[in-house]
Chains A and B, each alone.
Chain A
């Protein structure tokens, strides 16, 4: 299927380690979003790209979080010096363009556990 894919599906990191989470959006989708979903909570917005441009990063919780999408397709979310509070599922979503009419299609997520 040509859905949104994310890797790895599961990541265990020791506190202080850096991690990189990858998202492959649906081919041709211009918009890409990252969300963080804590246990028992709804997803919360982290950042948004339109093609390679990061248009909104207001949801990134600290300067340890960094996201990029250099060629306007694959995106990477990087977390430096991980902390226990970073443990969550990180969801990537893509849509055809930034429009209220278009639903976002979500990947399966990466479950990050920081020990």
Chain B
């Protein structure tokens, strides 16, 4: 069965510093991986996805993610954090058979000025 894990409930970084939000996955076939962000009282917004190809995926708002097959990881990164990046981030994997997304528990990112 497909699953993702986000080992950190919260990540704290200072504005201007690089940030990393961790995600590991477990799949039986090819991994189709996604990152979403959720602001308070709003739905999830798509950031980026890995389907195939380059291991470094670039997405919205300056975010990128690094796919590492040997470590089964798909960490979200940004070179310079903004206070406005503070939000709840979800990693997800697409289920091979049904198309549904299977989400991690989420990681709260707090960027301090």
Contact = CB atoms under 8 A, between A and B. Distances in A.
B49 A41 contact: no
Contacts of B32: 100-101
Interface string A11-53: 0000000000000000000010101000011111100100000
A47 B30 CA distance: 23
A93 B36 CA distance: 13
B99 A48 contact: yes
Contacts, number: 64
A66 interface: no
B34 interface: yes
Given A100-B51, A101-B51, A103-B49, A45 B100 contact: yes
A56 B43 contact: no
Contacts of A72: none
Contacts of B30: 100
Contacts of B36: 106
A83 interface: no
A31 B34 CA distance: 17
A106 B43 contact: yes
Contacts of A91: 43-44
B104 A103 contact: no
A105 B51 contact: no
A104 B104 CA distance: 16
B82 interface: no
A42 B103 CA distance: 6
A93 B34 CA distance: 14
Interface of B: 30, 32, 34, 36, 41-46, 49, 51, 90, 92, 94-96, 98-106
Interface of A: 4, 31, 33, 35, 40-45, 48, 55-56, 58-59, 91, 93, 98-101, 103-109
9 contacts: A33-B99, A42-B103, A42-B104, A93-B44, A101-B32, A101-B51, A103-B49, A106-B44, A106-B45
